[in-house]
Structure 1
């Protein structure tokens, strides 16, 4: 299953404008270049294939603050393998995929909302503005050949439960399919999992996100 992790990493770096991933014996290192996330280590193993010794080795070699670790195992399991200085998100993320099928037409926004999409640097963005012109929802997708990574999907609190997230994701999927992608990939939050599953996405593995805050952190 190394392929789906590689697909997520490749699409994520395009979506975020990060450095090309560096292949490691255990996965990938990505230089992000932000103060809050200087770089990230992504282990390629999934679920029961994740080895405690490998996680401990990779985490133990980190000495700089602002380095993130992504492990495709539940935080209740992987979190216990990290040493002092690591902050672990207690809620799991979810690596998910969906078959994109044939390209569909644009899904319109609900009445009164305005939908706009554009592509820049290989990344397609979808924005939904509220009737008063304020932000309502957004997302982006980065196709990298046969796969495409859906990223940064969010809906403003005042506009949730109105189907806007579904409109955004459907349009992102259609845009990716139109550019030849056959499979969508994303890392979803607990809050977003229900939305994605309602649109046909399937869970591949849980995801632990951890950040090194230094020996005095965590």
Structure 2
């Protein structure tokens, strides 16, 4: 199974991503999908398989509270020029990436450094992977949602204290193997700019650019204001 164009890939990705996050089923819209996440920093996400200036301007000009995200598979410069006042691009642009899960890199496990162990388990149809230290501390993690021939890999991260040891590769390969064992032949994921090199090293390829816009202050700005308030209160 292979996707012939970006909109098809995005449609498959958004359903797997929503399932991975435990969100509601993506609601179809004339321009794409809305996924309700329900957390303070991510109330909902609007996902546009195709995006143009008129659609983005109309969508972002409507009433929306803070914590609403817009995901568009276009260059970040384009999205930045289209969004209405009150929206920002709080993170570096990323990519939608794909791979064939029968690739050689998924046939054998990635080497696990001494002192670590890998755990995988299935919960609610989502396969989770953890690399842990001897005392049970989580050093790296990730998960994947499989639907038919497509797997969406999500939330891959390595704790800063355990980076540059190949643990991210262990997680990605373990999830790819688990997905292939469940019948998936194509993998999809949304990568940050920082994570792109990891995925490319394990056989993933960029399918489309991905830019994210946020309504209201960015999480970093909100955190800084909170620290300033705490500092002001402490000094009084």
Taking structure 1 as the reference length, the TM-score comes to 0.91
Q: Which residue among 147, 166, 181 is the counterpart of 1:178?
A: 181
Two-structure CA RMSD over aligned residues (Å): 1.8
Q: Which residue among 10, 14, 23 is the counterpart of 1:9?
A: 14
Displacement of 1:41 in angstroms is 0.4
Query: What are the residue-to-residue correspondences of 1:34-113 with 2, within 5 Å?
Result: 34-45=39-50, 50-101=51-102, 104=107, 106-107=109-110, 109-113=112-116
The match for 1:207 is 210
Secondary structure (helix, strand or coil) at the match of 2:148 reads: coil
CA separation in 2, counterparts of 1:13 and 1:90?
Answer: 20
The answer on 1:140 being equivalent to 2:143 is yes
CA separation in 2, counterparts of 1:39 and 1:191?
Answer: 24
Q: Retained in 1: the 8 A contact 2:110–2:169?
A: no
CA separation in 2, counterparts of 1:178 and 1:205?
Answer: 27
Q: Number of aligned residue pairs: give it.
A: 212
Secondary structure (helix, strand or coil) at the match of 2:197 reads: helix
Superposed CA deviations along residues 63-112 of structure 1, whole A, max 9, x for unmatched, are 22211100111222211111111121351011000000177354452221
CA separation in 2, counterparts of 1:31 and 1:155?
Answer: 26
CA separation in 2, counterparts of 1:106 and 1:141?
Answer: 16
Superposed CA deviations along residues 114-167 of structure 1, whole A, max 9, x for unmatched, are 111100000001100124432211110101111111000001111111111101
Gaps of 5+ in 2: 1-5, 223-236
Displacement of 1:182 in angstroms is 0.8
CA separation in 2, counterparts of 1:108 and 1:147?
Answer: 25
CA separation in 2, counterparts of 1:203 and 1:106?
Answer: 23
Secondary structure (helix, strand or coil) at the match of 1:68 reads: strand
The match for 1:20 is 25
Gaps of 5+ in 1: none
* CA shift in 2, pair 1:162/1:150, >3 Å: same
Taking structure 2 as the reference length, the TM-score comes to 0.84
Q: Retained in 2: the 8 A contact 1:62–1:212?
A: no
